[in-house]
Amino acid sequence: MAAYPKDRFDELPEDLKRIGAHRGPKKKGGGWIGFAWALLATGVIIFGGLWGLSKFVGVDVGLPIFQAAESPTPTPTPTPTAEPILDPTTIDPARGVINITVLNGTPTAGIENTVGDALAAAGWTINSRTNAAERDIAETIVYYDNAANEDVARGLVVALGVGEIKLVPVDTFLGAPVNIVLGADYPGAATAP
């Protein structure tokens, strides 16, 4: 075997105490520092995992720091209801004429005219009377498209003796701000066969 020439890296001074090219003597306490970092990283991962389970999945991990604060149950505020207008002559003239359409949603022919005549005799302004698109409606509903006309709608329910009121968008019924759709629950209406 041929001998290779020696250079300055082949012979190292004895005081370096190195083995190999990059190894030096171990520092005292170096193992504990690594262990502390590993322990801290493990704690962060466990804490983050438990927080994620309690926050996003909804798992109760049984620790008070992970429990969500109970939100107080809101007390429902009663919605104000307008007093029904029982006498249409008491409607403020500044509101203008409130036209009413009567739609027959029952199979009973002519009931829209009977109801329209009774309401007109009581002083209500009946705009038109006709059949509804469907003739098998179960419940009588008074639709109104302006919240200011709730009192009129409630008064019409009282005058009919049956029904509910419902606020609808302005373009639902064209032609009249208040529309009565007679259903099978109206006295004298026949149910659909």
Reported as a pLDDT band with limits 50, 70 and 90, residue 175 is confident
Q: Report yes or no: 147 and 167 within 8 Å, Cβ to Cβ.
A: yes
Q: For the full predicted model, state whether its pTM sits above 0.75.
A: no
- Look over the chain and give the mean of its residue pLDDT values, rounded to a whole number: 83
For residue 192, what pLDDT is reported? 46
125-164 exposure pattern, b = at least 16 Cβ within 10 A, e = fewer: ebbebebbeeeebeebbbbbbeeebbbbbbbbbebbeebe
CA–CA separation, 103 vs 183, rounded Å? 9
More confident call, 123 vs 66: 123
Over 50: is that where the pLDDT of 151 sits?
yes
Q: Note the pLDDT tens digit of each residue in 73-108.
A: 776 666 668 889 999 999 999 988 899 999 999 999
Give pLDDT, residue 193: 45
Q: Which of 137, 133, 129, 124 is nearest to 110 (CA)?
A: 129
Q: Give me the CATH topology for the region 88-182.
A: Alpha-Beta Plaits (3.30.70)
Mind listing the pLDDT tens digit for each residue in 5-56?
777 766 766 666 655 555 566 667 777 888 899 999 999 999 888 888 877 8
Residue 71 has pLDDT above 70, yes or no: no
**Residue 180: other Cβ atoms inside 10 A:** 31
Task: State yes or no: pLDDT of 129 exceeds 90.
Answer: yes
Q: Could you tell me what percent of the chain has a pLDDT over 90?
A: 45
Domain boundaries in the chain? 26-76, 88-182
Q: Is the model's pLDDT at 1 over the cut of 80?
A: no
Residues 6+ apart with CB under 8 A from 138: 183, 184, 185
